[in-house]
Amino acid sequence: MAGLTSHAIRFRLRRAAATRKGLCPRCFKRPSRAPGHSYCKECHTDCRRRYRMYYLRDRNRKRRLGLCLKCDEVPDPGYTQCRIHLARSIRWYRAKRDRLRRAGLCVKCGKARDCALLHCLSCRTAFNQYSRMVRRRLREIVLSLYGHECRCCHVTDAEFLSIDHLRNDGYIERRRIDSISLLKRIVAMREIRGRYQLLCHNCNMAKALFGLCPHQARRPKARGPAPRVAPGRRPAAAS
């Protein structure tokens, strides 16, 4: 025990003695929680809680600084881990997934599956809830990026707004990526934001079906306050 102070040596001996007696070597009071484990139940819970706090704080720090979540390297663009750790994580998850699938268990939690799907019911429910939450948050961010109003009629209610593909090629994009990935891309990639705009569902549908929203057909080309239009009457086009 070279390099240790006499206090540290005494403390180590005290811990060893407690373990031999079947007592917790952290609080020296309560018995160990199970054979093969030295800490008592309370100390075990407390240590786990502290470690989890430390872990989350450290991860948040790395996320804030834009570093790999496993080390302090610069991550791959678009990812939260460096190349080495990303490859390692993918390998680990794939191996675990294959093992559980072969065993006929839920590939996420490892419990019994209730049907032919790869995930158990509680994992499916949790995942659906989680992705709904992610979608809601991403949508909020994207809406505010585009000014949170319909570009045509200036409706601002989030429920009415939708993301419009300027060149009406949304059907091609939807074949390639799902809606959450699209939202993520718009948030992450500033250069593609020009391809989209915010329209309410009415204006979007009118544009998609008839090529032009009636709001735009009525409105004079020159910039200025929109003319008040009596219902059923079309104003003369501005010259």
Tokens 């429910």, residue located: 125
Work out how close the CB of 98 gets to Zn ion at its nearest, in angstroms, rounded to a whole number: 16
Work out how close the CB of 216 gets to Zn ion at its nearest, in angstroms, rounded to a whole number: 6
105 φ, ψ (degrees, to nearest 5)? -110, 170
**Distance (Å, rounded) from C-alpha 72 to C-alpha 54?**
16
Work out how close the CB of 70 gets to Zn ion at its nearest, in angstroms, rounded to a whole number: 4
Work out how close the CB of 96 gets to Zn ion at its nearest, in angstroms, rounded to a whole number: 12
Residue 92 or 177 with smaller CB distance to Zn ion:
92
At 35, list the tokens: 């054979």
Residue 172 or 217 with smaller CB distance to Zn ion:
217
Interface ranges with Zn ion (CB under 5 A): 24, 26-27, 30, 40, 43, 68, 70-71, 73, 82, 85, 106, 108-109, 120, 123, 150, 152-153, 200, 203, 213, 215
Residue 44 or 185 with smaller CB distance to Zn ion:
44
Residue 106 or 142 with smaller CB distance to Zn ion:
106
Q: Give SS3 for 197.
A: strand
**Distance (Å, rounded) from C-alpha 116 to C-alpha 103?**
13
CA distances to 4, 11, 24 from 7, rounded to whole Å, are 8, 6, 19
Work out how close the CB of 205 gets to Zn ion at its nearest, in angstroms, rounded to a whole number: 10
**Distance (Å, rounded) from C-alpha 219 to C-alpha 196?**
22
**Distance (Å, rounded) from C-alpha 123 to C-alpha 117?**
11
Residue 40 or 142 with smaller CB distance to Zn ion:
40
